[in-house]
A = this chain, B = another copy of it.
């Protein structure tokens, strides 16, 4: 049974200010506008698909978003057990819809109520204010236009995947050439151009670099001359061996570490996605390589001044990540990502981190959301789980209630402010 202490902690923590250090919000349209867009989140789409809905046809992007909901009505009863569904209903309620279920009789009312709320003036700010989120990080591709961005609400973060994983593609080079108005004819030019883009983002207020790396990605020092020669082969349109490709990608990652070092930028790394494992629907999965954390040992030792903030997409290495955050002053553990964002997985991770790792080394939560509406559901689920975990720690006598609240404040605000040097 949930203790009174846990409920009290939940209530207190819900009043605390929050920084959301990783989202996919679009600064030009941070709200979903239609309940159908909220409902069309891939978390829910996957659940509908797995219980038999033909989501390709019935939730086709070309349909008006609210028809997704209508088409899904026969399948909704089959997904009501998941916490993703709980999240969706939590959003519906936050938008002013008061029914406990959705069916033939009320789905249109939901669409109307939701649209009306989301149409209201500065809704996204109201939505974020309702959950005390003061700053949300964006995920910015190198060429994103930042004009008109609400810099009070948003913090840019430079996404760098293409410079590592797609280093071999002409488009990567051409985009950089365009952005820097330069000609990239060598690996050195490439690095200079990236440095320039990073500087531009810092001048726009960017607080971090970010990248997502697949499970088996190897990280080790690659000789510069070696990398230069490999990149020259690309420029000469020659084919790379798998090994050359791997070494060039690793070299690029190290180049990003160097730039982070020079520019004093923290680096957010998300480890573990396998892209497109569901071939027809293109859905991503994950898998685990037991060397995933271990492979960063050299980089953590070599770049002591680069803050490396790791998220990991499995339950297998969460203990190892916690111990890395304890061992290396420049290693941080962040949040609960995607397929690990379930209360029963989050709670043991919180306990493990709070018992083993000094709390300034931890980022409690990020939403990873595409619309501010999902942020509402995700912070509520997290705070409830955090309260349960802290209550257990307090009840077992390892912390008092004041300390628990101090830790919560740090997980949601202070540590982000310190790590990313905000305000």
Which A residues are closer than 8 A to B by beta carbons?
A: 1-3, 5, 46-47, 49-52, 78-84, 86, 274, 277-280, 283, 285-291, 293-294, 297, 301, 304, 314-316, 319-320, 323-329, 331, 339-340, 342-345, 348, 351-352, 354-361, 384, 388, 391, 395-399, 403, 407
**A396-B403 CB under 8 A given contacts A288-B320, A327-B283:** no
Which residue of A3, A316, A331 has the most chain B CB atoms within 10 A of its CB atom? A316
Contacts of A339 in B (CB 8 A): 319, 323, 356
A314-B319 in contact (CB<8A): yes
B388-A46 in contact (CB<8A): no
This chain: how many copies in the complex? Answer: 3
B359-A81 in contact (CB<8A): yes
Extra inter-chain contacts (19) besides given A86-B399, A316-B316, CB under 8 Å: A1-B3, A2-B395, A2-B396, A51-B360, A51-B361, A79-B358, A81-B399, A83-B398, A86-B398, A280-B304, A287-B291, A287-B320, A290-B290, A314-B320, A319-B340, A342-B351, A342-B352, A344-B355, A384-B396
Contacts of A360 in B (CB 8 A): 51, 78
**A278-B327 CB under 8 A given contacts A342-B356, A361-B50, A384-B396:** yes
Contacts of A304 in B (CB 8 A): 280
4 closest Cβ pairs, A-B complex? A344-B351, A342-B355, A79-B358, A1-B3
Contacts of A51 in B (CB 8 A): 329, 358, 360-361
Contacts of A1 in B (CB 8 A): 1, 3, 5, 391, 395
Contacts of A331 in B (CB 8 A): 50
Q: How far is the CA of A51 from the CA of B80 in the complex (A)?
A: 43
B290-A277 in contact (CB<8A): no
Q: Which residue of B lies closest to A288 (CB)?
A: B290
Q: How far is the CA of A289 from the CA of B297 in the complex (A)?
A: 17
**A343-B396 CB under 8 A given contacts A285-B323, A355-B82:** yes
